[in-house]
Amino acid sequence: MKRYISIWLPHWSTDRWRRFHDHDRDSPLVLIASAAGGQSITAVDSRAQAEGLHPGQRLADARAVVPQLHAADADPLADAQALGRLADWCGRYTPWSSTDGDDAITLDITGCAHLFGGEAALIADLVHRLSRFGVGARAASADTPAAAWAWARYGAHLEQEGPILAAGQSRERLAALPVQALRLPTEAVENLRRLGLRGIGDVMDLPRAPLAARLGREILIRLDRAFGVEAEAISPRRPPALWRARLAFVDSISQREDLDRGTRHLLDELCCALEADGRGARRLELAFYRVDGSVQIVEIGTSQPTRDATHLARLFAEKLGTIAPGFGIETMILGAVATDRLAPRQIDLATHATSSMEGLAPIIDRLQNRLGRNAVVRLVPVDSHIPERAVVVAPAVSRGRTDPSPERPRPIQLLAAPEPIEVIGLTDAPPSSFRWRHSEHRIVQVEGPERVAPEWWRKGDPATRDYYWLQDSTGRRYWVYRDLKRAAWFLHGLFA
Amino acid sequence: MSSLKARMLARLREQMQRLEKPGIADRRALSLGPASIDDALPSGGLARGCLHEVSGPADDAAAYGFVASLLGRLTQAGGVALWCRRRRGDRGPYGPGLARFGLTPARLIVARARDTAEILWAMEEGLRSGRFAAVLGENIAPDLTATRRLQLAAEACGTTALLLSPPSEKTVNRLSAATTRWRIASVPAERPERPRMSLTLERCRGGGSGAWNVEWNHEALHFDLAAALVDRPMAAVS
């Protein structure tokens, strides 16, 4: 059975504004935006609400009612971004969190609540922590996101009923709520009111077909979602990791050694879980939840699936320097975002060291995590006559191909792009001297040509080239070619 | 009898060492081919588990051939070489050309760094991991401290380190903790199949110096001393 929590932040915009501005808490606050005919209110705090102000009201009208009113500019974009960060912070309770509209967050707490001493304790802890950040919140739990949403807004304030809608109770307890709790559009609510249907209980048992015919399908969808007949598709902000380990501290930590120790502890735990399931980690995410409510995340990747905690700890050690603990870190959560199958294996003493690629994975990972994901590579030979296509760059862990050394001499350095050279010599004959990068090279020996035909089956292919091996008077050897289509000479490589 | 036992024991030890760490499979010095070159070096060849520095003139790839041949020899027993270089550049090592010098691409891993500091870091990590048969840094001219770090890292894990320093007049007098320093330049060859180069041993800890002209044999994968330009029309030069 799934369980969800919906967190309603009734004064999110004003609470957020207060966090960043030192403002007298006793005077009412409203946020305003310019609208046709003057400035109008977009958000009110609890005090302003108590005075009877509401969003949509003209600022001038509000000032007339409450002269000591403080007004500030609204910033809906920053509000939405901050709500996203708050949803990330909720990752300390569950890997599955999502923003819902512009003033709510939905959490999937299936199988998570026991970690915090049950749903009631989790909700109390959540609301308490948010209030410490200066964010007023109401949260409720239920079997579906829609029911939790309804209960958080319209039911949870009934003190005696509490914030929890126990499993299977949605139907009977939501019946008492007004139809607005179904998240219906205003005109639908208005229509229902005209019909004398004010509560959910009034509509939920009506015959479905006439109801839909009269008021549209919307109401049926909303009812089904609330009662779990139809699943509501909500995607979490971050893909939840299937393998996770969590570590909460009684006293917040900030020392680097403590971070290392915590990381190691989590890795040991996670690697045990991975081993039990025959998986190896490919990508890991380590999130640090600070006491001030922000989250910092570091990520590492491995070239081959692994569950070697020591190796992974070393990879994380490189990145932990970027973590700023601020006033302290209260929770660390490690998740394996990507995993691969990794069969349990006996350590074979005879082949342990000789399978060279196996032993290289840790060091390749270390290099890759510092230098970048595509920074550690192999030069893999490919069947192509075009010199620049005869080698492709492949990830270091791919199996190398052992090719016999080429029949003809090949340059040891290839220019990134062939460079045009000025030649002196007869047409169609190899040059007797050429100029490259402002220096003159007198040719004393020539070998060639070696004709390289274009790969006609590929589009935009270079023209036919005649390659020559040239040796100048100092003994330096060059690989130049004549582009037959353009009748021009290019330098393509240097021989050792 | 006891000497036979001792020999067997020594051989077993060597085998075990080879099993433990592919990087220090063979601690004997690396022969450069011609005996006269090996004799000039105190350990009878290029000492493994040390830092060696190689440079050459600008726009001359002979030094690349030389280091490719060294990496090829060092990875012959089954190891992998790490080649650390800058990500961007107007030219790069070319697989088929390296293969001609005995370094098969399957035995090479290239680490592409953003700057010199990252190249040095990657080299040191590679050396200290003990997983590579050799580690090379391309186109960097680190100072004395940095080369000393590399030398220590190479010694600690027995991995051979190579520095391919950029062609610059400044590098000649640069202080370096490298065990040997070589200057490699192309010399005229008779045939494309047999490239020739001059090897100049500029500095060698505990040894002397020297200069040789060698010819690369890509079939046998070794250097031969080149007959000193006898075939060339010397008269014209004098």
Across the interface, which of B92, B105, B189 has its CB nearest the CB of A378?
A: B105
B14-33 mean pLDDT: 63
pLDDT tens digits along A245-275: 989 888 889 999 999 999 999 999 999 999 8
The neighbouring-strand residues paired with B113 are B86
**For chain A, percent of residues with pLDDT exceeding 70:** 94
User: For residue B234, what pLDDT band results from cuts at 50, 70 and 90?
Assistant: very low
The confidence score (pLDDT) of residue A392 equals 83
**For chain A, percent of residues with pLDDT exceeding 90:** 23
Across the interface, which of A378, A387, A409 has its CB nearest the CB of B100?
A: A409
Chain A touched by B117 (CB under 8 Å): no
Tell me if A411 and B105 make a contact (CB, 8 A cut-off). no
Tell me if B94 and A410 make a contact (CB, 8 A cut-off). yes
Chain A touched by B169 (CB under 8 Å): no
User: For residue B1, what pLDDT band results from cuts at 50, 70 and 90?
Assistant: low
CA distance B99 to A495: 13
Residues in B touching A474 (Cβ below 8 Å): 186, 188
Name the helix (H) or strand (E) containing B134: strand B134-138
Residues in A touching B125 (Cβ below 8 Å): 363, 366-367
Structure tokens at A302: 């491995």
Q: Which of A61-75, A139-153, B2-16, B131-145 has the lowest mean pLDDT?
A: B2-16
A270-296 mean pLDDT: 89
Alpha helices in B140-237 (DSSP H): 144-157, 234-237
How does the average pLDDT of chain A come out, rounded?
86
The confidence score (pLDDT) of residue A448 equals 80
The separation between the first and the last C-alpha atoms of chain A, rounded to the nearest angstrom, is 70
B9-16 mean pLDDT: 78
pLDDT tens digits along A172-208: 888 888 888 888 888 888 888 888 888 888 888 888 8
Residues in B touching A359 (Cβ below 8 Å): 22, 131
User: For residue A351, what pLDDT band results from cuts at 50, 70 and 90?
Assistant: very low
Cβ atoms of A16 and A130 closer than 8 Å: no
pTM of the model: 0.67
Residues in A touching B216 (Cβ below 8 Å): 496
B76-101 mean pLDDT: 89
Chain A touched by B83 (CB under 8 Å): no
The confidence score (pLDDT) of residue B154 equals 93
Residue among B195, B170, B172, B194 nearest B183 (CA): B172
Query: Which residue in chain B is spatially nearest to A375 when comparing CA positions?
Result: B112
CA distance A212 to A216: 5
Minimal C-alpha gap between B135 and chain A (Å): 13
Chain A touched by B7 (CB under 8 Å): no
Q: Which of A338-352, A353-367, B169-183 has the lowest mean pLDDT?
A: A338-352
Cβ atoms of A456 and A386 closer than 8 Å: no
Tell me if B78 and A354 make a contact (CB, 8 A cut-off). yes
User: For residue A157, what pLDDT band results from cuts at 50, 70 and 90?
Assistant: low
Residues in A touching B189 (Cβ below 8 Å): 471, 475, 477
CA distance A262 to A246: 10
Residues in A touching B58 (Cβ below 8 Å): none
The confidence score (pLDDT) of residue A358 equals 57
The confidence score (pLDDT) of residue B238 equals 33
pLDDT over threshold 60, residue B12: yes
Instruction: Write the DSSP assignment of B189-213 as a string of letters.
Output: -SSTTS-EEEEEEEEETTS--EEEE
The confidence score (pLDDT) of residue A401 equals 62
pLDDT tens digits along B25-72: 345 788 888 888 888 888 888 998 999 999 988 888 999 999 999 999
Across the interface, which of B98, B110, B129 has its CB nearest the CB of A377?
A: B110
Structure tokens at A307: 């569950």
pLDDT tens digits along B147-198: 999 999 999 988 999 999 887 665 566 788 899 999 999 999 888 889 999 9
pLDDT tens digits along A38-58: 889 999 988 888 888 888 888
Per the model's pLDDT, the better-predicted residue between A26 and B37 turns out to be B37
A94-114 mean pLDDT: 89
Cβ atoms of A419 and A490 closer than 8 Å: yes
